[in-house]
Amino acid sequence: MAFFSLNLAALAACILIIMKQFRINNPFTNRVCKEGGVNDCNAVLSSKASKLTDWLSWGDVGLVYFSTSLMLLLIFPEAMSTLMLLAMGGIGYSFYSLGYQYSQRKFCTLCNIVQLCIVVEACIALYVFLQQGVYLPSALIIFQQLLVFLVVSVIWSTLRTLISNDLKLKSQKKKFLKLKFDHLLFSTMLSKQVQFKLPTELPVISVGNKEGNTVITLISNPYCDACAKVHDFFHEMLKYKSDVLVNIVFNGASSHTEISLPAKHMLTLAKSGDADKAIHDWYQRSSKDYLKWAHKYPATIDLESEKAVDIQHDWCTSNGIDVTPVVLVNGHLLPEGYQVEDLKYLTA
């Protein structure tokens, strides 16, 4: 039982060591392994002495060794004799590790927990051997133990590669996002995109801060499913963005068609300032039933609203805009690689 507990404690320390080497943040290891001073795990774990090769550290060796030991104790209790012999052999490594730390005047608490477990195991083994003698396992038992060791080694090697690749990918993604959401870079890339001039006479539905420095133009269609998602995004974004104005322009049909009815209705509501809630409600509906929606938000469509739909449609046609949704930021198309959702990080 004592041997099992010591192996378990050492394995836990090895896992924390490997997490430290992978730079995986952990509150416990941060408290135990402070940077600077005598107790400095990072200085020890980043040294050449902490690795056998470029790809194999002593932490890896410890994890495989103690994992194998625990499995052997559970599956083959007769492996105890072999583990005791190995524990006594491990004393040499403990002296090497402690000697190196002393020479550098830098000590690793986690490493020394492992060394303490090895030393205590060696003491237990020595006592047992003195009392009962040394028992040498048979060739079959040794083969079984080696097989377990190989299985654990392959499993950890595979897991280590997967973890390493995943962490590298996350690190690269973090660097990419930091670059992507750099405001100066975004402004520079935005200025190089095609710019659409919105004439002052172009009727729009304005939502947000009319004095905002960021003017977003959303070219939409009342019956466009993709547009509904963009409308919902801006509806939520404007709740916490105080320097943004969203102008809505409808495209898709002239005023003489039935499908233009919602657009004309919204433009009419906008004159009294009641359009925002109605527009959000419209795009939230899975069934675009105009009559039911219009009954909830009554308005009398006038000639001005009919002309407004035609003006918007003609402006889109003359500028070659034949799809929806289209989002313009200060008149510019979004640069390649940016999505609408990114604007919540790029606007004030």
Model pLDDT for residues 126-147, shown as the tens digit of each residue: 888 888 877 777 778 788 888 9
**pLDDT score at 267:** 93
What pLDDT sits at residue 36? Answer: 57
Calculate the average pLDDT of the chain: 88
pLDDT band at residue 220 under the 50/70/90 scheme: very high
Mean pLDDT of the 223-246 span: 94
Higher pLDDT, 35 or 167: 167
Window from 41-55, 192-206, 211-225, 236-250 with minimum mean pLDDT: 41-55
Strand partners, 287: none
Question: Looking at domain 194-346, which of 3.40.1280.10, 3.40.30.10, 3.40.50.20, 3.20.20.70 is its CATH number?
Answer: 3.40.30.10
Question: Residue 195: phi, psi to the nearest 5?
Answer: -110, 130
CA distances from 100 to 16, 76, 181 (A): 20, 35, 45
Per-residue tokens: 240: 């916490």
Peptide bond before 199: cis, by omega within 30 degrees of 0? no
Torsion, Cα of 295, 297, 301, 306 (10° steps):
-110
- The answer to whether 82 touches 142, Cβ cutoff 8 Å, is yes
Q: How far is CA 270 from CA 221, 242, 247, 289, 291, in A?
A: 16, 20, 11, 20, 18
Question: Would strands 244-250 and 214-220 be described as parallel, antiparallel, or unpaired?
Answer: parallel
Residue found under tokens 């133009």: 217
- Give tens-digit pLDDT for 318-336: 999 999 999 999 999 999 9
Say yes or no to pLDDT of 252 above 80.
no
**Span 288-305, pLDDT tens digits:** 999 999 999 999 998 999
Grade residue 314 by pLDDT with cuts at 50, 70 and 90. Answer: very high
Q: Kindly tell me if the per-residue pLDDT of 40 is higher than 80.
A: no
Q: What is the DSSP string of 149-195?
A: HHHHHHHHHHHHHHHHHHHHHHHHHHHHHHHHT-HHHHHHHHHTS-B
- The pLDDT of 94-109, averaged and rounded, is 86
Three-state DSSP class for residue 246:
strand
Q: Which residue has the tokens 């870079």?
A: 185
Domain ranges of the chain: 2-180, 194-346
Question: Would you state the pLDDT for residue 128?
Answer: 81
Mean pLDDT calculated for residue range 142-157: 89
Cα–Cα distance measured from residue 335 to residue 192, given in angstroms and rounded to the nearest whole number = 8
Cβ atoms of 231 and 249 within 8 Å: the answer is: no
**DSSP 8-state code for residue 127:** H
Give the pLDDT of residue 269.
93
Report pLDDT for 27: 77
Comparing C-alpha atoms, which of 225, 295, 227 is closest to residue 261? Answer: 295
- Residue 323 DSSP one-character state: S
149 to each of 32, 67, 71, 142, how far by Cα in Å?
Answer: 30, 9, 9, 10
* DSSP codes joined into one string, 29-61: HHHHS-SSSSB-HHHHHTSGGGBSSSS-BHHHH
